[in-house]
Chain A
Amino acid sequence: QSVLTQPPSVSGAPGQRVTMSCAGNNSNIGAGYDVHWYQQVPGTAPKLLIYGNNNRPSGVPDRFSGSKSGTSASLAITGLQAEDEADYYCQSYDSRLSAYVFGSGTKVTVL
């Protein structure tokens, strides 16, 4: 069971905006630790998408954005494209576990 909870799936038509949540608690996100997001196309390695809550690495389109508030975080994709179909994972640090923790993952489907 993942420490960070994400919805199993979200979907949207091309061009639409979708969002996904990442719910934690006061020993991880709520403790002030940064949240990071990864994109994983099935059969490939994860790729860093957002770091430090809302920063995009070079090469990541500005259609992707992250936010954090309280004990949760969110990832938004605007102008959804077919190539965005993938699994998305949030990640943070948990002080009670002294471990890096990942979310359960959200599968994005482009209708």
Chain B
Amino acid sequence: EVQLVESGGGLVQPGGSLRLSCAASGFTVSSNYMTWVRQAPGKGLEWVSVIYSGGSTYYAESLKGRFTISRDNSKNTLYLQMSSLRAEDTAVYYCARASGGSYSDWYFNLWGRGTLVTVSS
């Protein structure tokens, strides 16, 4: 079955760090464009980061320097390393597979169920 399963969320103090994982099955992470999208409680969707099949990475401007996307090809798993966390980073974090032609026309056609990150003291 083709699916994505996130893990690693939880309660973290402001200024802390957390690494999210997204295990893929039924397809190869390294051959696809993979993204992270987050959703704060009661709010809309916000794109976080993308990693190309070639390894290039891009981030939402507001998150540059604090978040790092990566993957482990041997584990077929996507990661999001988050540091210097703030209360406003509290959200459900979804990993998703991107598809489409040009990168500017990509859409997200496979989503995980998400993992909740709560930043609070």
Contacts and interface: CB of A to CB of B under 8 A. Distances in A.
Contacts, number: 66
A100 B58 CA distance: 10
How many B residues are at the interface, by size bracket?
A: 20 to 34
B61 A34 contact: no
Interface centre among A2, A33, A46, A52 (most CB of B within 10 A): A46
A82 B50 CA distance: 35
A64 interface: no
Given A34-B100, A97-B61, A100-B35, A48 B107 contact: yes
Contacts of B111: 45-47
A33 B109 contact: no
Interface of A: 2, 33-34, 36, 38, 40, 44-48, 51-52, 57, 89, 91, 93, 95, 97-105
Interface of B: 35, 37, 44-47, 50, 58, 60-61, 94, 99-100, 103-109, 111-114
9 contacts: A44-B113, A46-B37, A51-B107, A89-B45, A91-B107, A93-B104, A99-B47, A102-B37, A104-B44
